[in-house]
Structure 1
């Protein structure tokens, strides 16, 4: 028994050492890992479209090139609109700072009339309105620096898409238990495609609701805040909270605390309805991850890969969990990552996935 325990401890320590080495390698090589991850993401998004075109006798090479061109045009248009609106908002920031100072001086005078000595000058001096869009500009900056590898991303995606139809056959010959392991990969691809499609739709609805609410209220740059709500909704748990901050603060600067509280209530109503009612009913338990694991994965992948890791936190964690479920040694850990104490439901769902999206 002591020998068995020492062997188990040694295996655990070796596994932790290997994990630390892998994490260190990913962290140090993030400038290369991130473009490759984006290539894999783009491949998973583009492959169903390429397969759809192929069904109409469109050659796969032409389908790949046309799909990637469409993706690039959409990305440039989307990022260009965001950058233009951010530039206009930055130009208006000094005026908002003056409005904020006037509001704080009025509040200070109101309190002084009621013998409440309170100096609010320190708040106005330390307040930086540019912090309203700090997270967004950081994300745009990260994406911009990553786009310096645009040629690498496009070329890697082209080769991945060309290889996709051949991959199932190669894996079937290379894997020791191909049926079981391919089934796990099918589960991940099925879950990933479903997650991206539904999350994009839900994020679009969130952005439209937020933009419409701010437009009706007359908040400036409502299109920008709708886009922020759309983008940050892809970041689980905290994304919607961060996205609400600039809209509420700008409403405070424009209309005062009463209307800002009303806008905050609107954000809260949208996020609660979308996040706690619509999204769970639409997406169900397809992710197979507990809320705590989703939140911790956001922190972990964000630390490891930056803003891109925060966006990819759920798919990456989904992939790790599904791979763990396919291993007898790690199946118990996969159960801990799930929403309940059983993986029988996901196993049953996996058996119903008979086609691999990469090969369709």
Structure 2
């Protein structure tokens, strides 16, 4: 435990470097099937490196562009809702007075659910993400280096099966689980984002593209990602269209996410993660503390990597595998 604390605080001190490096690793793992397909087609080595690399770069550039433009629009839009918020406050105070509630209780509740604070939190989150993605040069260089080393790394791991078979198997399993988790989560995240954007557009909520991108990003955050993606558009709907519009936004988000996340996603994802609900939530807290907002998004891949290195590679750690996965060990 002491060693874990030292390591985590050490990573936290270099989070500006560790975060982009881990993100680059996850992106390389995500596009590795493209390299495998090109290798099976006997494509030149330079093409096996260039195509996955360009896919990653284009995705990063697209995310940076959308987030930067949308965050700028949000920053210019928020000050225009000052009058609406004051009107909502006055209406709430009148309603509280007619129902026998004190203004002190109402003010405390409004301070806790101040839309300006929530939208300000979103601005902070977007700013952090833009800050990470703006280190594009570092991420691109690391992705290129990893892409160039991928064929050699595969051969090195293959030759190590005789000396450390458990470790080689654990790392291979980590790559497979991470890739499946990313692909399935991205597909369903895109579906959720598109449906959310359609619903917000029909309800005339401003900046539907921004909230769609936010829904896609928060889809990678376990347990609380749905709430983070819902609060900002709901608060903006309250300021722009009133309570009825806010309730319609909440209802639309709940219906879309419950159908996809609760009924459809588990059938495709299955046991790909291999982490219990408790371990997933603890992972979210720990990696957010260590790497900030990027740690929340990468919590599952980072936990899978930690499990591969410390648990799955140890033949005597069957009990620990059962503990983190929430499943009884096979007899």
Q: Match for residue 328 of structure 2?
A: 341
C-alpha change, 1:106 and 1:318, in structure 2 (3 Å) is same
What TM-score do the two structures reach when normalised by structure 1?
A: 0.81
Larger Cα-atom Rg = 1
Say yes or no: does 1:17 pair with 2:2. Answer: yes
1:12 alignment partner in structure 2: none
Equivalence map 1:112-131=2 (5 Å)? 112=97, 118=103, 129-131=115-117
- Within the candidate set 240, 245, 250, 1:259 is matched to 245
Question: Per-residue displacement from partner, 1:129-174 (whole Å, max 9, x unpaired)?
Answer: 5434344433333333334543333222222222222223323444
8 Å Cα contact 2:288/2:296 also seen in 1: yes
Could you tell me which residue of structure 2 aligns to residue 220 of structure 1? 206
Structure 1: stretches of 5+ with no match in the other structure: 1-15, 345-360
Match of 2:277 in 1: 291
Give the one of 230, 247, 269 matched to 1:244.
230
Check 1:134–1:239 CA distance in 2 against 1; reply closer, same or farther (3 A cut): farther
In structure 2, what is the equivalent of residue 327 of structure 1? Answer: 314
SS of corresponding position for 2:103: coil
CA contact (8 A) 1:302 1:313 kept: yes
* 1:60-102 alpha-carbon deviations (Å, 9 max, x no partner): 2234234323432332233222322222222222222211211
Q: Would the alpha carbon gap of residues 181 and 259 (structure 1) be closer, same or farther in structure 2, given more than 3 Å must change?
A: same
Superposed CA RMSD in Å reads 2.7
Q: Which residue of 2 aligns with 1:141?
A: 127
The 2-side partners of 1:172 and 1:229 are apart by 39
* Cα distance in 1, alignment partners of residues 281 and 174 from structure 2: 20
Pick one of 48, 64, 85 that aligns with 1:100.
Answer: 85
User: In the TM superposition, what whole-angstrom CA distance separates every residue of 1:306-356 from its partner, at most 9, and x where no partner exists?
Assistant: 111111111121222244133134331221001322257xxxxxxxxxxxx
Q: Structure 1 CA distance, aligned partners of 2:164 and 2:185?
A: 31
**Count of aligned pairs between the two proteins:** 329
Q: Assess if the C-alpha contact under 8 Å between 2:67 and 2:210 holds in 1.
A: yes
* CA distance in structure 1 between the aligned counterparts of 2:99 and 2:9, rounded to whole angstroms: 59
1:152-191 alignment runs, 5 A limit: 152-174=138-160, 177-191=163-177
Greater CA drift, 191-200 or 331-340: 331-340
Please say if residues 167 and 312 of structure 2, whose CA atoms lie closer than 8 Å, have aligned partners that are also in contact. no
Shift of 1:240: 0.6
Q: Matches of 1:279 and 1:52 in 2, distance apart?
A: 26
